[in-house]
Structure 1
Amino acid sequence: MTIYDIAKMAGVSASTVSRVINEKPGIKESTREKVKQLLREYNYTPDENARGLVNRNTRLIGILVVDIRSAHHTDLAFVVENYLRERGYCAIIINAGPSEDQMAEGLKLLEQRRVDGALLVGSMFQNEQVKQGIFEHLREVPVVLANGYLDLPNVYGVLVDECDGVKRCVELLRKKGKEKLAYIGTMDSPSSMAKLKGYQEKMKEFGYDSSDLIIEEADADRESGYEATVRLLRKHGEVEGIIYSEDVIAAGAVRAFWDLGYKIPEDKAVLGIDNTIYGELTYPKLTSLDNKMTEMAYEAARILVEAVEGKTNTKRLMLFSDIVEREST
């Protein structure tokens, strides 16, 4: 069933049917109701691709995620997709991959799909190749970075104060009587480095030299968290508390503490970042820095939709994290 079939049965022009579908004025109410009745009767669904060609508006939004297996990033994408769908937009989610070449290729794919806007999930998109890719492929549409920013006219960013947040984590552990602190985490993104910087700067404020700081690198999974914790504690058994760059890493670490005979938080305190479901599933429950994933997703989606619809908005929005205290501190 096409728009022309509906028009023929209604005894009107195809343009009149189009005006009814798009809620345009200037049509007699009796004609409008007659067309609507036929549209309902035959379950007519407008061809969004065809409408997009006419209106130069596809109502399609591209979402790029570095690794779709990351629960933190897919949770964010879920919130964004729901927001978009409620406002009549459709989302295409692309697993961009960890390399800058793959990220740039993802931007090219979005250009080919003629998206009205794009949302990039994660701080790893803050690199020169992505910046150049946006300029080459998406400079005519709004682009929003969730937990990042690039200095381009059409780019917006929603960020979280992760560096200051980790500083407050250090302060909390010190108030709990844990003075000898260590840091374990990933170091492969601007977000990771901001967290590490928070630990380093705050420990130095407490009188520690750079050579005194205890830092261990780990991948973003439970197994790596377990192994990195074992390595660190065998070298530095005197450590009283550890901050982990992600909850999933800390979840693996909790088992390591038990296997090594340490009680949490009496012997060692554990603090994660992200405030994910892992914090509720560990025993004891994990204290975590809430970096406002839901709020970040909502604000990123809001800014993107408003930009697509021609409304002005702030170029950079900063959110402030909170510490959710549970049993591990």
Structure 2
Amino acid sequence: MRKRPVNIKNVAAEAGVSAMTVSRVLNESPSVSKATREKVEETIRRLGYRPNAIARSLKAQRTNVLGLVTVDLTDSFFTQVTAGAEAEARRLGYRLMLSSTERNPQDEPDFIHMLVEQQVDGILVIRDSIEIQDDPLLGLMDIGIPIVTTGYHLPHPELEVVDIDNVDGGYQATRYLLERGHRQIAMITGPCNNKSAKARSEGYLKALREFGLCCDWDLVAEGDWKPRSGYQAMKALLERKKDFTALFMQSDEMAIGAYHAIHEAGLDIPKDLSVIGFDDLLLTEYMEPPLTSMRQPIFQIGELAIRLLAAKIAQPGIKPQEHFLKAQLVERSSVSALN
């Protein structure tokens, strides 16, 4: 049986370091300590690893191929961002090499290294806005690979970020309800460790304060962006027997589940309870009643991210920035004004 060639993951496991640390050693990054560098170099020699592909990728001519790593292609948000990225890449003359971790973050470093070994010109990372320890993106930027992320902020001077202004989106959604006379406004959030969810909650609180109101935390429940969590969170809110006339849902998918729980309870939307969502997914206009929602320019996020990545490739010295796009209110039939 032919022996399988040694790869960077084998070196990392043998040396007791991350694969990104091995990349930093291979590319002579000054961020690696002398002791770690010597240990990795000794392991490379002992295992007979030949890092030709990675070494070539940093010196080769452009391939006109971009890498894209995302987390969940069953999620409508990530699917639409990816679609926007693919369309813009094609328009600019690039091919897109796609990888999806399917929400298994342990796979991300392997996918990134695969893309580097394929000599992609740059990488777009579409992630949840959740902090990651020993982030592999840090190593990529240390060795000069152009990176753009969507919805994920990392304290590094070379990182270009495209995101929604989630604070403003949460603020506008809540203010819309307040301006229609609602004062007891419940909210179902995304995961508590998600920066987008935190930012939308911050906007909700800001709007309440502007109207001289305090948050009643019994009117707040947590979901995970998916319909089932919206259903469960809505049932939990109703079981608390607290009075509220309006509901801010931090995602449209959760609103689907919340609608089901509201109808099960015999309540009418918007006669008994007004509901506003966030995303403006295609299906929202077919909900009963059609859902008022904050429209995220999701497709445009992917387009802009690829344009920025292409600019970084063409002009390596360009100063990176954070780019925030505004969500826009789309009025339908799920919110009524109180007398």
Q: TM-score, with normalisation over the residues of structure 2?
A: 0.75
Q: Do the aligned partners of residues 211 and 251 (structure 1) sit closer, same or farther apart at CA in structure 2, a change above 3 Å counting?
A: closer
Q: What is the letter of the counterpart of residue 293 of structure 2?
A: S
Are residue 327 (structure 1) and residue 330 (structure 2) matched? no
Q: What's 1:240 paired with? A: 245
Choose which of 87, 94, 119 in structure 2 pairs with 1:89. 94
Larger displacement relative to structure 2 (75-84 or 237-246): 237-246
In structure 2, what is the Cα distance between the partners aligned to 1:285 and 1:211?
28
Rg (Cα) greater in structure: 1
Whose relative contact order is higher, 1 or 2, with alpha carbons under 8 Å and at least 6 apart? 2
In structure 2, what is the Cα distance between the partners aligned to 1:219 and 1:305?
33
**2:252·2:278 contact (CA, 8 Å) conserved in 1?**
yes
Q: State how many pairs are aligned.
A: 277
Q: What is the letter of the counterpart of residue 178 of structure 1?
A: H
Are residue 147 (structure 1) and residue 176 (structure 2) matched? no
Deviations 1:12-56 (A, max 9, x none): xxxxxxxxxxxxxxxxxxxxxxxxxxxxxxxxxxxxxxxx89952
How do 1:258-297 and structure 2 match up within 5 A? 258-297=263-302
Larger displacement relative to structure 2 (146-155 or 278-287): 146-155
In structure 1, what is the Cα distance between the partners aligned to 2:132 and 2:181?
40
Residue 100 of structure 1 and its aligned partner are, at CA, apart by 4.5
Q: What's 2:322 paired with? A: 316
In structure 2, what is the Cα distance between the partners aligned to 1:74 and 1:169?
24
Q: What's 1:21 paired with? A: none
Choose which of 162, 166, 172 in structure 2 pairs with 1:158. 162
Q: What is the letter of the counterpart of residue 136 of structure 1?
A: G
Residue 121 of structure 1 and its aligned partner are, at CA, apart by 1.3
Q: What's 1:231 paired with? A: 236
In structure 1, what is the Cα distance between the partners aligned to 2:224 and 2:153?
24
Q: What's 1:135 paired with? A: 138
**1:97·1:103 contact (CA, 8 Å) conserved in 2?**
no
Residue 101 of structure 1 and its aligned partner are, at CA, apart by 3.4
Give the RMSD, CA atoms, in angstroms.
Answer: 2.4
**2:84·2:301 contact (CA, 8 Å) conserved in 1?**
no
Larger displacement relative to structure 2 (284-293 or 303-312): 303-312
In structure 1, what is the Cα distance between the partners aligned to 2:172 and 2:271?
20
Q: What's 2:177 paired with? A: 173
Are residue 198 (structure 1) and residue 210 (structure 2) matched? no
Identity within the alignment, %: 24
In structure 1, what is the Cα distance between the partners aligned to 2:297 and 2:163?
10
Partner secondary structure for residue 333 of structure 2 = coil
Partner secondary structure for residue 198 of structure 2 = helix
Deviations 1:170-226 (A, max 9, x none): 111011222100111222421111112222333244334455552111122222212
Q: TM-score, with normalisation over the residues of structure 1?
A: 0.77
**1:163·1:194 contact (CA, 8 Å) conserved in 2?**
yes
Choose which of 242, 257, 261 in structure 2 pairs with 1:252. 257
Choose which of 106, 111, 115 in structure 2 pairs with 1:106. 111
Q: Do the aligned partners of residues 136 and 212 (structure 1) sit closer, same or farther apart at CA in structure 2, a change above 3 Å counting?
A: closer
How do 1:66-85 and structure 2 match up within 5 A? 66-85=71-90
Residue 247 of structure 1 and its aligned partner are, at CA, apart by 0.4
Larger displacement relative to structure 2 (303-312 or 288-297): 303-312
In structure 2, what is the Cα distance between the partners aligned to 1:89 and 1:229?
44
**2:158·2:319 contact (CA, 8 Å) conserved in 1?**
no
Residue 116 of structure 1 and its aligned partner are, at CA, apart by 0.9
Partner secondary structure for residue 129 of structure 1 = coil
In structure 2, what is the Cα distance between the partners aligned to 1:151 and 1:59?
28
Partner secondary structure for residue 269 of structure 2 = coil
**1:162·1:194 contact (CA, 8 Å) conserved in 2?**
yes
Q: Do the aligned partners of residues 210 and 328 (structure 1) sit closer, same or farther apart at CA in structure 2, a change above 3 Å counting?
A: closer
Q: What's 2:44 paired with? A: none
In structure 2, what is the Cα distance between the partners aligned to 1:99 and 1:192?
20
Residue 145 of structure 1 and its aligned partner are, at CA, apart by 1.0
Q: Do the aligned partners of residues 54 and 104 (structure 1) sit closer, same or farther apart at CA in structure 2, a change above 3 Å counting?
A: closer
User: Gaps spanning 5+ residues in structure 1: where?
Assistant: 1-51
Q: Do the aligned partners of residues 57 and 321 (structure 1) sit closer, same or farther apart at CA in structure 2, a change above 3 Å counting?
A: same
Deviations 1:83-120 (A, max 9, x none): 11222211111112435533334333322322211111
Q: Do the aligned partners of residues 213 and 171 (structure 1) sit closer, same or farther apart at CA in structure 2, a change above 3 Å counting?
A: farther
**2:159·2:320 contact (CA, 8 Å) conserved in 1?**
no
In structure 2, what is the Cα distance between the partners aligned to 1:213 and 1:301?
42
How do 1:294-305 and structure 2 match up within 5 A? 294-305=299-310
